[in-house]
């Protein structure tokens, strides 16, 4: 007995945690600075931690299936109806719900290249096929409607990541509107705003009032510091109110996660501090790394360092873990997350040493 033929599926290889790397290198995990997964260096909001503690004695009970406290709060935040918020296990879960709701076997999706690996994976899990648009065609990986529409051929779903992982580039509002208005009636545009809090651009959620071929995904993993709890959401058009209950995984978002997310949403000061640190850090990287870097609207910077795998390995030995972007098709670059000021300064020091040594 074997599973069906999964050879077309890319295996998901999660980034390794600091503890695993430390064990391998014979180091103390506290000596390592992990800047490879775009996590929040300030950790979760203390309000979220208190909410988790409060919820702990009740984990023997199933969560409220409709997650109404959280959807109500998000609906108020974005001026939507509560039914327009699809709560999920991370933004990844929201991407899956959209694949399930839209893809019939053999439908094609259009994904950015380089780009976030889960779009093609989710599409294939749902029996879809994958086409790509090439972001490296434009200077600075600039995201325009033209780059997407040049490759567009009536796909069922088109993914836009803004700010984009791993380059940090952003698609301006006018281009998103142009895209929404240019694609066929049966094409859904998914705007992934996993890094939206770090951007100065307005959220595409505002466009839902006028466009019913749009879904916007967001997460509590980054600026809200709750990556380990797996909680995110999609904001969708009002017309789809009945679809969520037909595609969601029962109880995929835990009550602990929902309560923590609600508390994190209320702690605006923590989010502001997190965003401010990231904005400082990305400027610090751009000003001080001895490598070409690109403008970033997110909590990381892409840097061209030469042999990315050698640089990442040597940096790791010196205690700084960065992401080699070879798996994104960028073998000469590393993506380095924004840390605290101290971590960010240390990353610059180590990366510059390593780049010079390997030169
Ligand atoms: N979209 C993008 C572009 C991402 O980089 C990530 C996280 N790596 C996600 C979605 C998923 O985030 P999560 O599932 O943790 O909410």
Mutate to test the pocket of ligand 1, among 13, 87, 90, 94 (most ligand atoms within 8 A of CB): 90
* DSSP character at residue 153: S
Choose among 231, 310, 308: nearest CA to 265: 231
14 has a pLDDT exceeding 80 = no
State the helix-helix crossing angle for 308-317 and 18-25, rounded to 10 degrees. 80
Q: How many domains does the chain have?
A: 2
Which CATH number does the domain housing residue 238 bear?
3.40.640.10
Nearest ligand 1 atom to alpha carbon 165: 3
The verdict on residue 209 lying in a domain is: yes
Do 115 and 227 fall within a single domain? yes
Residue 241 has pLDDT above 90, yes or no: no
Same domain, 293 and 154: no
Does residue 197 or residue 25 have the better pLDDT? 197
Give the DSSP per-residue string, 216-275: EEEESSSTT--GGG--EEEE--GGGTTTHHHHSPTT-S-HHHHHHHHHHHH-HHHHHHHH
Residue 153 forms part of a structural domain? yes
Q: Tens digits of per-residue pLDDT, 37-74?
A: 999 999 999 999 999 999 999 999 998 767 789 999 99
**What is the DSSP secondary structure assignment for residue 45, as one 8-state letter?**
-
How far apart are the C-alpha atoms of 117 and 112, rounded to whole Å? 10
Region of 287 please: left (phi>0), alpha (psi -120 to 50) or beta: alpha
Final residue of a structural domain among 246, 266, 286: 266
Q: Domain check: are 29 and 76 in the same one?
A: no
Residue ending a domain, choose from 266, 299, 315: 266
Instruction: State the residue range of the domain holding 72.
Output: 46-266
pLDDT band, very low/low/confident/very high, at 359 (cuts 50, 70, 90): confident
Name which residue leads in pLDDT, 28 or 326. Answer: 326
Q: What is the pLDDT of residue 139?
A: 84
Higher pLDDT, 157 or 12: 157
Same domain, 71 and 217: yes
pLDDT of residue 19: 86
In terms of domains, do 229 and 338 share one?
Answer: no
Q: What percent of the chain shows pLDDT beyond 70? A: 100
Residue 318 confidence (pLDDT) above 90: yes
Query: For residue 136, how far is the Cα from the chain centroid?
Result: 19
Q: Which of 116, 122, 193, 199 to mutate to test the pocket of ligand 1 (most atoms within 8 A of CB)?
A: 116
What is the band of 101 on the pLDDT scale with cuts at 50, 70, 90? very high
CA pair distance 160, 246, nearest whole angstrom: 25
The whole-number average pLDDT for the span 242-263 is 94
Residue 36 lies in a domain: yes
114 inside domain: yes
Same structural domain for residues 203 and 321? no
Residues 222 and 288 in one domain: no
Q: What SS3 state is found at 188?
A: strand
- 117 CB under 6 A from ligand 1? no
Indicate the helix (H) or strand (E) that contains 47.
helix 46-55
Across residues 179-208, what is the average pLDDT? 98
Q: What is the mean pLDDT of residues 214-232?
A: 98
Q: Are residues 231 and 129 in the same domain?
A: yes
pLDDT digits (tens, 9 = 90+) for 258-308: 999 999 999 999 999 999 999 999 999 999 999 999 999 999 999 999 999
Looking up tokens 């939206």 gives 196
Is the pLDDT at 240 greater than 80, yes or no?
A: yes
Residue 60: other Cβ atoms inside 10 A: 5
Residue whose CA is at the smallest distance from ligand 1 atom 12: 91
Decide: 298 and 199 in contact? Cβ < 8 Å: yes
Tell which wins on pLDDT, 108 or 250: 108
Residue 26, pLDDT above cutoff 90 = no
Average per-residue pLDDT for the chain = 95
Average of per-residue pLDDT across 122-136:
96
Q: Does residue 205 have its Cβ closer than 6 Å to ligand 1?
A: no
The reply to whether 135 falls in a domain is yes
Task: For residue 69, give the nearest of 53, 59, 55 by alpha carbon.
Answer: 55
Tell me the two tokens of residue 347.
Answer: 């990353």
Residue at 8 is within a domain: no
Q: The complex's ipTM?
A: 0.99
Final residue of a structural domain among 266, 285, 317? 266
**80 located within any domain:** yes
The answer on 259 and 142 residing in a single domain is yes
CATH number for 284: 3.90.1150.10
Looking at the structure, do residues 121 and 231 belong to the same domain, yes or no? yes
113 and 194 co-located in one domain: yes
In this structure, is residue 144 part of a structural domain?
A: yes
Structure tokens at 232: 């995110």
Phi-psi region of 107 (alpha: psi -120 to 50; beta: other; left: phi over 0): beta
Q: Are residues 194 and 284 located together in one domain of the fold?
A: no
For 202, 254, 288, the CA distances from 230, given in Å and listed in that order, are 25, 9, 34
Residue 220 pLDDT grade (very low, low, confident, very high; cuts 50, 70, 90): very high
| H/E stretch holding 54 | helix 46-55
């Amino acid at each position: 007995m074997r599973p069906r033929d999964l050879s077309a599926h890319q295996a998901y290889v999660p980034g390794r945690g600091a503890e695993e790397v430390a064990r391998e290198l014979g180091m103390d995990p506290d000596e390592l600075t992990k800047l490879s997964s775009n996590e929040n260096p300030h950790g979760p909001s203390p309000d979220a931690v208190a909410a988790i503690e409060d919820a702990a004695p009740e984990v023997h009970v199933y969560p409220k299936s409709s997650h109404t406290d959280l959807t109500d709060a998000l609906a108020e935040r974005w001026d939507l109806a509560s039914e327009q918020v699809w709560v999920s296990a991370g933004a990844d879960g929201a991407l899956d719900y959209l694949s399930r709701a839209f893809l019939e076997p053999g439908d094609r999706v259009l994904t950015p290249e380089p780009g976030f690996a889960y779009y093609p994976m989710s599409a294939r899990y749902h029996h879809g096929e994958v086409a790509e648009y090439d972001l490296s065609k434009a200077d600075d990986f600039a995201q325009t409607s033209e780059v997407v529409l040049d490759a567009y051929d009536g796909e069922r779903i088109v993914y836009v990541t803004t700010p984009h992982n791993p380059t940090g580039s952003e698609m301006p509002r006018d281009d998103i509107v142009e895209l929404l208005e240019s694609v066929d009636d049966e094409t859904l545009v998914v705007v992934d705003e996993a890094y939206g809090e770090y951007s100065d651009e307005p959220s595409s959620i505002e466009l839902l009032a006028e466009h019913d071929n749009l879904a916007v995904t967001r997460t509590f993993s980054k600026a809200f510091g709750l990556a380990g709890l797996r909680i995110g959401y999609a904001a969708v058009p009002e017309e789809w109110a009945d679809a969520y209950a037909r595609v969601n995984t029962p109880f995929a978002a835990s009550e602990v996660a929902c309560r923590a997310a609600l508390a994190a949403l209320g702690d605006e000061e923590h989010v502001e501090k997190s965003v401010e640190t990231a904005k400082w850090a990305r400027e610090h990287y751009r000003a001080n790394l001895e490598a070409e870097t690109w403008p970033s609207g997110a909590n990381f910077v892409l840097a061209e360092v030469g042999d990315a795998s050698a640089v990442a390995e040597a940096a790791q030995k010196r205690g700084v873990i960065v992401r080699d972007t070879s798996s994104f098709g960028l073998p000469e670059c590393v993506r380095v997350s924004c840390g605290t000021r101290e971590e960010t300064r240390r990353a610059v020091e180590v990366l510059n040493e390593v780049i010079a040594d390997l030169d």
